[in-house]
Structure 1
C-alpha cells in the first residue's frame, strides 16, 4: 500500500534535484564582511556618585531597554553565606521604601516586556524593556532599590524568599542530571576559590540567612559606583542624562568592592568520579578549567569546543553518533567567566552500548583533536555560524540577548562596552593553528571525568549546593541568552547607523538634590500598535504566502507551515510525525546528513523542523547575502528527504532515548499522561504533548511508512509560507516560486483529522504517579473547555492572567510569594485550533503537595464565586496588556509567530492592531463571565508526579478519588 507514495516522492525529488542542486555551490558571504557590518553606536557618561551610564539609540520601535548590572555575584560570597547574591536578587523584587509591594506590579503597569533579574558567578543584573512613555517609571524603580531599599527589607520578605529559592533549588535538583554541576564544581574548583560553590547556595546557608546579613550584603555591594546602567532604544544621551541624574544623582556612593584576582585552578592529576541518577542513558563528561573570557586563548578554545561538539556536523557527532552509532547525543561548549572558564564535553551513550568502550573512544577522539586541531573549513563554519547568530540575536534592544546586554557585559567584564568587536575580530581572524595551539596548551592538562549511570539516584545532602551557575546563570554569558531562571518561573549588530562609540563628557560636578519620590511616575499615553503591514500572494500551485518587512538586521526568516502536527499521527502509529520530522534534517537525495549540516554552517543558516498539535513547520533563519542558497536548502529538506535507512535507525534510537528521558523526568511524565485522560485515546489531541509517541510504535516504524506519511501530510495543498525580514515581497516571490511554486500535487485524496470523538466528562479525580525519592511534587491538572482555538478567547485569557496566567496572578502569588511552597505556578489556556484545554502547572515542595492542590482549588472557586476581578486587578492587567504591545513585536520572530497564529485561527492579518481596543473594552463583568462560563474546578483531572509514600495521605484529605500508578521504569531500574 505504500509503493504509490514512494514513487511519487521519487518523481518530485528528481524534478527538484535538477532545478536547484547547482545553487549549493554558491559562495557564502565571507565572515570578515559580516563582522564589519556589526556596530552598536553608544555614548557613555558617569555620575559623580560613580554610576556608569551607556546609551544606545535605536528608533525602530517606541521602546527603551533598561538594564542595570552590578559587579556582585556568587564569587563574592564568603564561606557559610553561599546563595546570598541570588537570594538578594529575589528580595530586590519585593518592594523598596518608595515602591512598596511587588515590583512586578509596577512593571505590569508600565507595560514592561523581557523583564527579569539574574545572578551568576560574576554579576547580578535586572532588566526590562518598557514603552518610552514608561521609561521614567522604570528608572524610578531601579533607582529606588539601589538607593532606598534598606527599610523595605523585612523578615517576612526574607523568610518567604528563602522558601522560594529553596524550592527553586529542589526544582533544579529534581531533573535528570540535576546534580551534575555540584560535582563539576567539586572536581574542578578548590573550595576556597570564588567559583568553588554554586550560585544557588546550600540549603543550610540559605536557611541561616538573617535580616542583618541581607542588609549588610546590600550596603556592601549595591552602590552606584559598583553598577552599570544601559539604556538602549528610542532614546539618545541628551534625553537620557537629565532623567538619570534626576533619579540616580542623589544616591550616595557605596563601599569600594574589592577586585578579585584568583589563580586559574589546575588539577594535579586526572580525576574520575561516578554517580547514579534516574536518567535514560549513561552520560560521560569531560571537564577542564581554562582561561577567562578576556584571554585571547578563550576565543580559540570556544571555536575548538564548537568544532568538537557544538556544530550539527561536529567531530563527535560525525564519529560517535552518525558513523559508529555508539552515542545518541554529544555536546561540547565553553562556559565563560571572568576569572577562568570551563571547557566541557559530554556523550550520551547509546542504550545497550559498552560504556567503557565508548568512554575510551571518546578520549581517543578528544586526544586526536587536541593534538591535530580543526581544519580551515571547520573554523570557517564555526565563525560564520557564530557571526550569524550574534547578528540575529541583536535585533532586540533588551531581553536576554539584546544590545543592552552586549554593551553591559563588555563594560562589566572587559572594561569596554565595545568588547563584542574584539570578540568578533578574534573570531574572523581565527585559524586552525591558533586553535591547535590553545588546545595543546590548555587541554593537555589533567582532565576531570564524570560518568552518570542509570539507576536509583545516589543520596546527596540538601546542603551540597545548587546547580553550578545554573540557578541564575544557565548558559554562557557571552554566547547564549542570559538564563531565564531569574526570579520568574526559565553577539553583534548590523546597523546602517554610522559612528563608533563616543564619549559624552564628564558629569556635572554640582551636588544633586534629592528627588520627590512620593508619587510613582505612571506610564504616559502610548500610540496604538503599528503592526508591520502583511502582504499576501499566491504561488502558481496555490500555496499562500504572507510577507512582512523588517530591516533592523540583515536576516530573513521563513516558515513553511503544514496542516499536520502530532494530531495527524495515526492512532495506531503515535510518534510517526515526530520521527519523520527528525529525519528531514538528516539528509536529502542530493546531500547526506553531514553535507546538509555543513551547507547550513557555511551559509550561517539554521533550518529547523518542529511540530505542535496542529502544525508541522519547517523554518529557516538566513543571512540576507546568503538567502538564495539558504532557500535551496530549505526546499531540498522539505521536498526531497532521503529517509535513509541507516539514518533512520540512528534517529529511531535517539527518539526512543528521548521517550525514556520523558519517563524519568517529572514534567515529561505529566505531559505524556494527562492528554489521554482529558481527551480520550480516540481524540486527535489525546496524545502525549511531547509528541514523541509510543515507544512500541517508534521501534517498528519503517521507511515506507514515514515516506507515505510525508507524501500525505507534507504536500503543497497543506502548505502556507510566511516570511519576515530584510527583503521585499517583490524580491521574494520569484525565489519562492522557483523552489515551491512548481511543486506538484501527488493527486491523492487528502486525509483529515477526525475531531468527532466524544471527549470524556471530567470526573474530579487524582492520578498519582509514584516517583520515589522525588524532592518535589509536580502538579499538572486540566479540563477540556467548551471552546475552540478559533474562537475569540481574549477575555478568557485576560481573566486567566489574573487568576493564574501571570507572575502576579492569584495562584502564583499565593503559592510562591505568600506561602513559599513553589518557585512558580501557573494556569494557562492552551490554544490548539480545535478543542481548547485549561491547564494548571505547579511544582511544589513535597510536604505541601496536598495543601497546594487545596489552595489552587480555593483560588479557582473564589474567582468564579464571590471573589471576581477587583478594580485594581482590572486596571493593572488591561492597562499593562495594552502597554506591552509596544515591545511584544520588536523581534521579527515574534512577528512571524503572530502571522502564523492569525492564519491558523482565521483572523485578519492586522489582528494585532485591534488588541489595544479590545483590552480597553474589557470590564470586570466581561472577565468574570468568561471564566465562570469556562471553568468548573469540580471536573478537573489532577495528575501528580511525586513520592507516593510521602504525599498520598495528604491527597486523601482532598476527598477526591485517587488512583496510584507507578512511573514507567527508567533505564537501569529493576
Structure 2
C-alpha cells in the first residue's frame, strides 16, 4: 500500500469557516470531479422526505441565480410559504383544495420573475457535465464533472448555491417528487423493501423511506425545510471533494475565497437510537408480486460503519459469496441445492443489516430445508472449516477490489464521499487495505459467531401486492416561462471572470499511450499502461454477437456456472482465485467478450487457466437445469416489471422478430438443449476475429508473445461481423400499442419515428444537436415542458439513434421515453405530440445544446483502464482518430437552422408510433386512440416464454 499512497495522494484542508476540503490531484484525465457532501440525510428528518425534496430544490437557484427580480419574487414566495404551513394544518378536503389553488395562483405569479434552469445552464456554460445529486439516510451529496479551466467558476457557483437557496417553483417540484415515488412503488419489491426496513430498523429513523410518506408529502412545510437548511447546511457539517486535473496550490486560494463564505455553525447532534435484539427466530411475511417463486431472508443485526469488525466481517462474507463464485453459498447454487443464495451487508452510520437472501428450489424444497443448508455453510466459517489457501486468496481478492475502486477520479471521489460521510479520513481507507493483511482466521471465525446468531428476523414471501398510495392528478395551471432565455445579473457578472484557454484533449495521437499491433489479419491487440497499481485487465472481444446468435446471452450465463472436462466449477475457479484472478463473460449485439483480470505477477498462470477453459469447458445437463430455473425466476420478475415490459414492447415495435426478447429461446426450448449445443457455440465464436484489450504493467511485445504462445489468437479464421444490423419496421400511419398492466401507478410511454439515412458526418453531428435540443438534456424541450413546467414526469428522454458509422444503408430513428402518473398519461402525451408536430425553435437553447455536447466531448476522455476500449471502438467504426475531434469542430458551425433542417427532414410529418405500458382502468382508451390505430398486446406477443 505504500506505493499506492505515493501514487494517489489526497490532502486535507480546513477552511476558515470550518469546512473540510479533500483534494486529490490526478493528471491522467483532463477533467475534475467535484462534490459537496452534507452530513445530513433522511434520518435527520424521518419520514418527512424533507432532506430529499430539499435536494431537489437546491437546483432551483438562489437570491442571485434563477431570478430577474428577487425582491418582487420574494414577496410572493413568502406568501406561498405561509400557505403551505396553512395547508399542513388543514384537514377539510375542500379547504385544502382552495389553498392549493391559491398556491397555484401565487406560483404562476412568482414564475413571472423566474429564469428556469439557470443553475444547470451555468454549470453547463462553464464546462460541466453529469450534474446530479443524491440523498441517503446519512448524507446528501451534490456533484458533477467539469473542465479544469473553469475551476473558479465552478467554485463560485457551487458555493453560491449554498448561501441563500430559494424555494421557487416548489409546487411543481413536489409533483415531480410524487412521480419519483410512483416510480419506486412500481418497482418489483419496492414497497416490500420499505416494509422490511420498517420492521428491521424500528424504532430507528432508518425504518422510514428516504423519500418520505405520502401523508407527509401531501403536507409539506417550507418553514421546516428552511429550518433543515439552517440547522444542517453549515460549514463544519460539510465536505468539499475535488479529484482530477488541477494544482492544489492554485486551487486552495480559490476555495478559501468562495467556500469560506458558507455560514459557520454546528449541526444538531441527534441521539443514536439503539435497536433491540431479536428474540430468537422472529417471523415476518412479506408480499411480493411473483407467483410460484419462493423467497426467504435471514436478517441479522449488523454493524455500523467504522466498527472495528468491519474488515473482518467483509472477509467472512467473501467466504459465502465472492467474484469467482467459489463461496459456500455460491456452492449451494452451483450444485443446484437451492436456486440462489446471496449474503448482503450494509453498514450505515448508526446501524447495519446483515442478511442472507435465499430462493429455495422451485419444486418441493421447503423453507426449512433451504435454511438448514444455509446454516451448515455458516457453521463452516464459525468452526474454521476452510483452508488457509482459501483464506489467503480471499484476502487477496479483497485487496484487489479495494485498489480497483481508486483507479479513476469518479470512482475514487465516490469512495471519498462515503468516507467523509462516515466521519473517516482518507488514510482510514488505506489502513483498511493494510488491515486485510493482518486479519487472521480466528478473527473471521469470531465475527461469524458474533453476528450470525440464533436471534434474527426470518422473512418469507407470500404472493401479493401492497396497496399503493395513488394521488389524483392536481388541477393546476402550468407555469409560463417568461424569462427562459434571459440571464440574471449574477450570470452576467460571471461572464466577466477570466478563463484560461485550454485545448480539448482527445483519445488519439500523442494524447494517449495506447500501443497497437495486429496479431493477424483478423485480430488486433491494444495495450495501455497502468500507472496506479499492479492489476491487469485483459478483454478478448470476438466479433460476433447476439444479433447473429440470440443464444449468446444464455451462453454467457452458462459459462459462468460450469467447469471443464477435467475439473468441476469449484475446483477450477478455486485455482483462479488463488492467483487473485477473475474470469467472466459478456454478450452484446455485435460481440462476445471474455473478461480476465488479476495481478500482473500471475498473468501467465492465469492465461494458461483461461486457455484450459476455452478449450475444455464442459456444460452438463444439471447446468442447463440451473439455467432454466434461473430463467424461470427472471421471467417471473420480468412479467411483473413495467420497465422491463416497456423495453420489450419497444424492441418488438421497432425490430419485430429480431427483438432479443422474442429471438431468445423459450423455457421449453432451453430445456431441450444439450450441453454440446453450448460447447459447440463457444467453440464457434472463438473462430471470429476482433480485438484484445490489455491494461497493465507489461509491454506490448510481452503481451503479444504471451497471447500467441498460450492462446494462439493468430490462428482465428474469420473476420468479425460488423456492423450487426437489424432491419427497423417502417410504419406508414400512426399507431398506438398498449400493454395492460394492472396495479401500476405509472404509465411508461415510448415513441418511435423512423428517419432517413444519415450518411454525412455533418448531418450525424446535426442529429446529436437535435437530440440535445429536443430531449437529451436538462435544458431540453422535453425536460422543460414535461418536467419543469408541468410536472408530468420524473424521467424524460428523447434521442435520435444513429446506426454504426459503417452502416451506410441503415436509417436512424427517434426514440422518446417518459413515465408519468396514470391519470396524467393523456396530458403528457399531448405535450410530447405537440412538440413533435410543431417543434418550437429557440436559438439561445440551441446554443446551450451545443455547449452541452462540447462539454460531454471534452469530459469524455477515458480512464487509463478504458483507453484501449475507446481507441479500439473508433478504429472499429472506421476512424483513425477520436471522432469527438470532428464532433466539436462540426458542432461549432451548426445553428438553429440546422436543427430545424434535421427536424423537417427526419421528424416532422412522419408517422409516430406510441407504446404504453400502463393501467387501462386509469386511462381513457378512447382518447388514446386519437393518436393512432390502437392495438392491445399481451406479454406473449413481445416475449418468448
Tell me the TM-score range normalised by the shorter chain.
0.7 to 0.9
CA offset at residue 418 of structure 1? 1.6
Q: CA deviation at 1:89?
A: 0.9
Check if 1:385 corresponds to 2:357.
no
Q: CA deviation at 1:56?
A: 2.0
> Out of 187, 198, 213, which is 1:186 matched to?
198
2:152 aligned with 1:139: no
* 1:561-576 equivalences in 2 (<5 Å): 561-569=541-549, 575-576=550-551
- In the alignment, which residue of structure 1 is the partner of 2:422? 413
- Offset at 1:958? 3.4
Q: For residues 46 and 287 of structure 1, what CA distance do their matches in structure 2 show?
A: 40
Determine if the alignment matches structure 1 residue 74 to structure 2 residue 75.
no
Give the match for residue 438 of structure 1.
Answer: 447
- Cα pair 2:323 2:582 within 8 Å, conserved: no
Matched with 2:82 is: none
For residues 969 and 546 of structure 1, do their structure 2 counterparts lie closer, same or farther at Cα, with a shift above 3 Å needed? closer
2:554 matches 1:579: yes
* Distance apart, 1:758 and its partner CA: 7.8
Q: Is the 8 A contact 2:326 2:573 kept in 1?
A: no
Deviations 1:316-341 (A, max 9, x none): 544431113431x3321211111111
Confirm or deny that 1:89 pairs with 2:55: yes
> Please, which of 538, 541, 544 is the counterpart of residue 524 of structure 2?
544
Matches within 5 A, 1:217-232: 217-232=228-243
Q: Paired residue for 2:738?
A: 768
Structure 2: 5+ residue stretches without partners: 67-115, 472-489
Q: CA, structure 1 residues 231+264, in 2 after alignment: closer, same or farther (shift >3 Å)?
A: same
State the Cα distance separating 1:82 from its structure 2 match: 2.1
State yes or no: 1:396 paired with 2:404. Answer: no
CA distance in 1, matches of 2:942, 2:360: 15
Following the alignment from structure 1 to structure 2, what is the Cα–Cα distance between the partners of residues 291 and 756? 51
Structure 1: gaps spanning 5 or more residues: 1-32, 464-514, 570-574
- How far off its partner does 1:655 sit? 2.9
Aligned equivalents of 2:208, 2:725: Cα separation in 1: 53
Question: What is the deviation of 1:518?
Answer: 4.2
Judge which range, 788-797 or 935-944, deviates more.
Answer: 788-797
How much has 1:915 moved relative to structure 2?
3.3
1:198 is aligned to 209
Q: CA deviation at 1:387?
A: 1.9
Q: Is the 8 A contact 1:722 1:899 kept in 2?
A: no
Aligned residue in 2 for 1:59: 27
- Change beyond 3 A, Cα 1:577–1:970: closer
Map of 2:506 onto structure 1:
530
Q: 1:251 aligns with which of 262, 273, 276?
A: 262
Secondary structure, in 3 states, of the residue corresponding to 1:122?
Answer: coil
2:94 equivalent to 1:128: no
* Cα-Cα RMSD: 3.2
2:816 corresponds to 1:840:
yes
Separation in 2, partners of 1:522, 1:695: 64
Q: Aligned partners of 1:758, 1:93: CA distance in 2, in Å?
A: 39
For 1:273-672, list aligned pairs within 5 A. Answer: 273-279=284-290, 281-327=293-339, 329-365=340-376, 367-369=378-380, 371-373=382-384, 375=386, 376-397=388-409, 399=410, 401-402=411-412, 404-453=413-462, 455-460=463-468, 518-519=493-494, 524-531=500-507, 532-540=512-520, 542-569=522-549, 575-585=550-560, 586-672=562-648
Q: Describe how 1:141-220 pairs up with structure 2 within 5 A.
A: 141-149=157-165, 152-154=166-168, 156=169, 158-191=170-203, 193-220=204-231
Q: 1:34 to 1:309 in 2, by over 3 A?
A: farther
The answer to whether the 8 Å contact 1:409/1:417 transfers is: no
From 918, 931, 940, give the equivalent of 2:912.
Answer: 940
Alpha-carbon separation, structure 2, partners of 1:530 and 1:757: 33
TM-score normalized with structure 2 length: 0.84
Aligned equivalents of 2:491, 2:570: Cα separation in 1: 64
Partner of 1:505: none
Q: Distance in 1 between matches of 2:465 and 2:445?
A: 39
Contact 2:38–2:239 (Cα < 8 Å) also in 1: yes
User: Cα gap change, 1:266/1:728 in structure 2, threshold over 3 Å: closer, same or farther?
Assistant: same
Hey, what's the Cα distance between the residues in 2 that align with 1:793 and 1:722?
Answer: 28
How many residue pairs match? The answer is 862
In structure 2, relative to structure 1, the CA distance for the partners of 1:91 and 1:62 (3 Å cut) is: same
Deviation at 1:619, TM superposition (A): 2.5
SS in structure 1 of the partner of residue 205 of structure 2? coil
Distance 1:621 1:756, change over 3 A: closer
Greater RCO (Cα-Cα under 8 Å, separation 6 or more): 1
1:353–1:562 Cα change, 3 Å: farther
Partner Cα distance (2:697, 2:898) in 1: 41
C-alpha contact 1:659 1:695 (8 A) present in aligned 2 = no
CA gap 1:599/1:231 in 2 versus in 1, 3 angstroms: same
Counterpart for residue 485 of structure 1:
none
Tell me the secondary structure at the aligned position of residue 892 of structure 1: coil
Contact 1:547 1:723 in 2 (8 A): yes
Cα separation, 1, equivalents of 2:758 and 2:689 = 21
Summarize deviations over 1:36-84 as a string: whole Å, max 9, x none: 6686423222222211122222222332222211110111115xx5211
SS in 1 for 2:814: strand
SS at match of 1:793: helix
Deviation digits for residues 619-661 of structure 1, max 9, x if unmatched? 3343333333343344444454322333232223323432332
**Shift of residue 243 of structure 1?**
0.4
Q: Find out whether 1:99 has 2:107 as its counterpart.
A: no
Cα deviation, residue 969, structure 1 = 12
SS at structure 2 position matched to 1:704: helix
**Cα distance in 1 between the residues matched to 2:689 and 2:10:** 47
On the 8 A contact 1:555/1:624 being kept in 2, the answer is yes
Whole-angstrom distance in 2 between the partners of 1:116 and 1:807: 11
